Amino acid sequence: MANKLKLAVVKMTGCAGCQMEMLRLEEELPALLEVVDFEYFLMAKRENSSGPYDVTFIEGSVSTPRELKELKELRTQSKILIAFGDCACTGCIASILNWIPPSVSAEVYDDFQAIHSKKESFQSIHPLSEYVPIDLHLKGCPPHKNLILEVVRSTLLGAQPKLRQHPVCVECKIKGNVCILTSEHKACMGPVTMAGCGAICPTVNRECEGCYGPMSDANATSLANLFQEIGFTRDEISRRFRKYAGITSAFAKEAGTQ
């Protein structure tokens, strides 16, 4: 097919889980490759192009000067720039570093001189939107492969992808799950977390960890108050809100990061 969509998949500070989820498009990949070209994807290709690209998926947050320089270059080389996964969207688990005292880090590293992320200008982890305009935030740790496919399809059609904004609780109701927050008093983040995972954790009787970040109009204070009524300490509650999206405006108050 002529004029295929030129895609790039780039990794910054992250675990590579989002790229692995893209590689899970095993059954869909043959048809996908008829309409798109992966111009840059180090995890999947030996030969890679330097751009420009129609769409760039960037996994990971920014923690070093090199990554910041690369991010700005990719912004100029990309028609559509996608924050791919929670590290890119919200800082995710890596952002917990922002509240770790230097004395704790010193227990692991004797000398920070060679660690660029700990130099004076990079003392914390930030999502991509702190530095450049982002065209689409694809949340999840990692985003489900169906959401990745939805974004690619929508881009090919020149349409907005249908990404859910409602909470995980809706997915629980669709599946007929009993609410483990009210029935078992588990610290489930489902009421304030954006859907898209299919309520994987609550379906196996495990509380939602909040890995898709805040849903639209999330009432974090109300959920935090409920956690406190159930018996969780203030520190336990802060950790729940801090884990994946503590630096977002929706969760910052209850995460204690403002």
What residue ranges do the domains of the chain occupy?
5-157, 168-255
Sheet containing 5-11: give its strands across. 36-41, 5-11, 53-59, 78-84, 136-138
pLDDT of 116 higher than 90 = no
Q: Report residue 63's pLDDT band, with 50, 70 and 90 as the boundaries.
A: confident
CATH fold for the domain made of 5-157:
Rossmann fold (3.40.50)
Residues 173-216 pLDDT 10s: 999 999 999 999 999 999 999 999 999 999 999 999 999 999 99
Residues 119-172 pLDDT 10s: 445 567 889 999 999 999 999 999 999 999 999 999 999 999 999 889 999 999
pLDDT for residue 257: 76
Q: Residues of the chain with pLDDT > 70: what percent?
A: 90
Residues 80-97 pLDDT 10s: 999 999 999 999 988 887
- The residue among 87, 62, 90, 79 whose CA lies nearest residue 218 is 90
pLDDT for residue 122: 58
pLDDT for residue 100: 72
pLDDT of 43 higher than 60 = yes
CA distance 255 to 27: 40
Question: Following DSSP, what letter does each residue of 139-172 receive, concatenated?
Answer: -SSSPPHHHHHHHHHHHHHT-------SBHHHHH
Q: How far is CA 255 from the centre of its chain?
A: 17
Q: How far is CA 256 from the centre of its chain?
A: 20
Other CB atoms within 10 Å distance of the CB of residue 9:
25
pLDDT for residue 106: 63
Q: Residues of the chain with pLDDT > 90: what percent?
A: 78
Give me Rg for the CA atoms of the chain: 19
- Look up the pTM and report it: 0.89
pLDDT of 249 higher than 70 = yes
- The residue among 223, 149, 165, 144 whose CA lies nearest residue 191 is 223
Classify 201 in phi/psi space as left (phi over 0), alpha (psi -120 to 50) or beta. Answer: alpha
